[in-house]
A and B are shown apart, each in its own frame.
Chain A
Amino acid sequence: DSGVTQTPKHLITATGQRVTLRCSPRSGDLSVYWYQQSLDQGLQFLIHYYNGEERAKGNILERFSAQQFPDLHSELNLSSLELGDSALYFCASSVMGETTEAFFGQGTRLTVV
């Protein structure tokens, strides 16, 4: 158990809908990273938050947004969902901004039908 909790574990929704994925980092970790893992794109970095502030953006679509709350948990919001958004979404956390010590959650599997 990495200590990073992601909910829900599985999510099935229809095209055009909006969903929210939640991540609780390890206790004391200030950084949260979001990744998307799909068969055709592999593992893609989406966004990094540190202590509530956005620090880095990767291949994140405009339909997607994220935030990190004062209690350090993070949410990834996916809207106007398309079939191609079906993927495994991972959250990782680390104490500071050091990805060398990032721990991954078990992921949320999103299926868009």
Chain B
Amino acid sequence: GEDVEQSLFLSVREGDSSVINCTYTDSSSTYLYWYKQEPGAGLQLLTYIFSNMDMKQDQRLTVLLNKKDKHLSLRIADTQTGDSAIYFCAESAQRGSYIPTFGRGTSLIVHP
């Protein structure tokens, strides 16, 4: 199976919370990341969490990490149409170099 897995699509109503989930396989993962890709643009690092943390909050974004289950989630509060994008989960570990391994991305669609 894939090293990092996430569902492909999520549709939410504007103003609701969005929760994007991700699972990974490598127990030695040190950094877990969330990236955002808007149409026609490169990836933008939204936030990252170190593996010894359970939670990180940054304005409307909340990242939860369950290291035992190797499960990472990104919650976006008060989702806006401008949040519509593809969200990538990624992990990295000290395998010679901290290079992120990405999931296939979750397309978040926000409708009025």
B101 engages A104 (CB within 8 Å): no
Residue of A nearest to B104 (CB): A42
B43 close to chain A: CB less than 8 A: yes
Residue of B nearest to A46 (CB): B99
Tell me which of A4, A42, A98, A106 contacts B105 (CB under 8 A): A42
B98 engages A97 (CB within 8 Å): yes
CB-CB under 8 A from A106, the residues of chain B are 40-42
The digit string for B76-112, where 1 denotes a CB below 8 A from any CB of A, is 0000000000001000100011111111110000000
Which residues 26-61 of A have a CB within 8 angstroms of B?
33, 42-43, 45, 48, 55-56, 58
**Looking at B44, B88, B99, B105, which has the most chain A CB atoms within 10 Å of its CB?**
B99
A55 engages B45 (CB within 8 Å): no
CB-CB under 8 A from A55, the residues of chain B are 97
A99 engages B44 (CB within 8 Å): no
Q: What total count of A-B pairs have CB within 8 Å?
A: 51
Nearest CB in chain B: distance from A57 CB, A: 9
B102 engages A56 (CB within 8 Å): no
Assuming the contacts A42-B103, A43-B102, A100-B48, asked whether A90 and B42 have C-beta atoms less than 8 A apart, the reply is yes
Residue of B nearest to A45 (CB): B99
CB-CB under 8 A from A48, the residues of chain B are 97, 99
A37 CA / B32 CA spacing, docked (Å): 20
Which residues 87-113 of A have a CB within 8 angstroms of B?
90, 92, 97-107
**Looking at A2, A42, A55, which has the most chain B CB atoms within 10 Å of its CB?**
A42
List B residues at the A interface (Cβ < 8 Å). Answer: 31, 33, 40-45, 48, 88, 92, 96-105
8 new A-B contacts, CB < 8 A, other than A33-B99, A90-B43, A105-B42, are A2-B42, A92-B43, A97-B97, A98-B98, A99-B99, A102-B45, A104-B42, A104-B44
